Amino acid sequence: MSFIETTARTPYALGFDSLTHEVTNQNLPVDGTLPEWLTGVLLRNGPATFEAATAGYRHWFDGQAMLHRFAVGGGRVCYTNRALDTPNARAVRHDGRIGFMEFATDPCQAGFARIAARYTGKFKVAANPNVNITKVGGRFLALTETPLPVEFDPETLQTLGVTGYDDDVSGHLTTAHPHRDPASGDLINYVTRISRKSEYRVYRLRGPNLKRELVGSVPVSRPAYMHTFGICDGYMVLAEFPFVVSPLEMLLRGVPLIENYRWRPDRGTRFIVMDLRDGSVRGTYHAPAFFAFHHINAFVDGDDLVVDACAYDDARIIDALYLDKLRAGRNVVPTPIPTRYRIDLDRGDVTVRRLTDETLELPRIAYDARNGRDYRFVYGVGVRNRLGTDFANQLVKADVTTGGTRLWTADGCYPGEPVFVAAPGGAAEDDGVLLSVVLDSRRRTSYLLVLDARTFAEVARAEVPHPIPFGFHGQFHPESNQEQ
């Protein structure tokens, strides 16, 4: 790891160091008192291996996946972590090499044959599901942006294998953020097929089966990079940012996936609204150019469709997340602002306004109660240093009706995505707690932080025996808690 250690490092660079240490069912010391009603399992996903023996991955999004399990109950927290066992990870672990193309890393720099084979169907894309977790029926799946979920055991975190879909809804790229249809409860997502005739293909999953049903498709000449989408009762919303790719150039250039995309602000952003009942396109609506990784929520308000997102001015954030820049602090990391896009579905007008002036990323809401419906509160991570020279160092609660915010921060600490857990019988939208995995750069460890979602006061924390690399997303499953 000398190629990392000899580089000047930022205080938060610890969050981009590899973690190979694994523990099983380790009881963590708890400071504070956990609510009696808080019983269940928080499952987290994110990158944990950032180099092989002779080479390093280039981008934060390239790190090999590791799962983390926090079983909470009876005032205790029990922790397990385990790397996912995938072909990508085995190449690093057993062969000491980067064996497969990732988001921004190509193991074969003269990669024409690899790229060409990939997009002519002769190259089997391997899975590195380091982004999110979902549950389909009784099966737990780790997800990334290639449509190859990996199943795992939610108790042991043992990898059960790459899981294919039992259908012919083919595509090359997807999102790791499927949504529950507020009306039916079906899982909704889409895949992008990149070819001479590219398409966005929207599908649903009913019940426990991994058989996707095509809802509808939208032809597109230059597909956009879209990490998430919006959903509400009746509609799916694709925010097609002007960060687009030419399928032919992707075939010929021989560079990693994301380096094929180009920022074309003159295109503006298109909101494509699909009716989930029959797959028809309700309309395509034009807004000024912006970029976002994450939608916050969407809902119908009279004749309008409201879409909230964590909006960046452009796509420079992707370039800012290369590991050499992050570790050395050599660049400004752009920050997003929660922004509302109100679409008049009949007239076609789109109006834009900020929901708050506080930066916010990795947004979470009271999902079970407010997904696809009007809502009041969003939680996320933010940055105190508006110059963009620090990483996410505070938790934010924003009231989207007033613009007011509450903040949590601690010196030298870098919190991750806050997951909202509702209190049983809670009357208010923010009755519950937030769970966030926090990196303490000064003590060189991490801890599970529990905040009162209403007041933002600290309730408890449970210290982990090692620092956890910065991760992405996770889910809390009340029904998954077993004997600890």
| DSSP state for residue 66 in the 8-state scheme | E
Of 316, 420, 303, 312, give the one whose Cα is nearest residue 370.
Answer: 420
| DSSP state for residue 266 in the 8-state scheme | G
Token look-up 């799916």 returns: 236
Instruction: Please report the pLDDT score of residue 187 as a whole number.
Output: 96
Query: Consecutive sets of 10 residues in the chain, 484 residues long: mean pLDDT of each?
Result: 48 95 98 97 98 92 97 97 94 87 77 43 64 95 95 97 90 96 95 95 91 96 98 96 93 86 98 97 98 98 97 97 89 92 97 97 97 98 78 97 97 97 96 98 97 98 98 90 43
CB 422 within 8 Å of CB 368: yes
Give the separation between CA 264 and CA 224, rounded to whole angstroms.
10
Mapped onto helix, strand or coil, the DSSP state of residue 181 is coil
Instruction: Please report the pLDDT score of residue 482 as a whole number.
Output: 46
**Phi and psi dihedrals of 260, rounded to 5?**
-85, -15
Give the separation between CA 440 and CA 411, rounded to whole angstroms.
8
Counting beta carbons within 10 angstroms of the beta carbon of residue 324, is it exposed (0 to 12), middle (13 to 18) or buried (19 or more)? middle
Instruction: Please report the pLDDT score of residue 249 as a whole number.
Output: 85
Instruction: Please report the pLDDT score of residue 207 as a whole number.
Output: 78
Query: In 10 A of CB 208, how many CB atoms?
Result: 11
User: Measured in Å, how far apart are the chain's first and last C-alpha atoms?
Assistant: 36
Mapped onto helix, strand or coil, the DSSP state of residue 426 is coil
Instruction: Please report the pLDDT score of residue 126 as a whole number.
Output: 66
Give the separation between CA 348 and CA 283, rounded to whole angstroms.
8
Counting beta carbons within 10 angstroms of the beta carbon of residue 234, is it exposed (0 to 12), middle (13 to 18) or buried (19 or more)? middle
Instruction: Please report the pLDDT score of residue 418 as a whole number.
Output: 98
Instruction: Please report the pLDDT score of residue 124 as a whole number.
Output: 41
| Strand segments (E) across 62-131 | 64-73, 76-83
* Token code pair at residue 417: 């995505």
- Give Cα separations from 232 to 208, 215, 283, 340 (angstroms): 22, 15, 15, 15
CB 345 within 8 Å of CB 356: no
Give the separation between CA 472 and CA 361, rounded to whole angstroms.
11
Give the separation between CA 160 and CA 181, rounded to whole angstroms.
27
CB 318 within 8 Å of CB 365: no
| DSSP state for residue 14 in the 8-state scheme | G
* Token code pair at residue 258: 């994301």
Chain centroid to Cα 471, Å, comes to 9
CB 417 within 8 Å of CB 436: yes
Token look-up 């929660």 returns: 338
* Token code pair at residue 421: 């857990």
CB 194 within 8 Å of CB 170: no
Instruction: Please report the pLDDT score of residue 332 as a whole number.
Output: 83
Of 127, 126, 109, give the one whose Cα is nearest residue 253.
Answer: 109
CB 341 within 8 Å of CB 287: yes
Instruction: Please report the pLDDT score of residue 117 as a whole number.
Output: 43
- Give Cα separations from 146 to 43, 184, 292 (angstroms): 21, 26, 19
Give the separation between CA 438 and CA 448, rounded to whole angstroms.
6
What pLDDT, in 10s, does the model give residues 226-241? 999 999 989 999 999 9
For the chain, helix, strand, coil in percent to 5 are 15, 40, 45
Chain centroid to Cα 448, Å, comes to 19
What is the chain's length?
484
Chain centroid to Cα 449, Å, comes to 20
Instruction: Please report the pLDDT score of residue 208 as a whole number.
Output: 83
The domain made up of 2-480 has a fold known as Methylamine Dehydrogenase; Chain H (2.130.10)
Instruction: Please report the pLDDT score of residue 53 as a whole number.
Output: 85
Element housing 3 (H / E): helix 2-5
Instruction: Please report the pLDDT score of residue 93 as a whole number.
Output: 87
What is the pTM (predicted TM-score) of this model? 0.94
Counting beta carbons within 10 angstroms of the beta carbon of residue 170, is it exposed (0 to 12), middle (13 to 18) or buried (19 or more)? middle
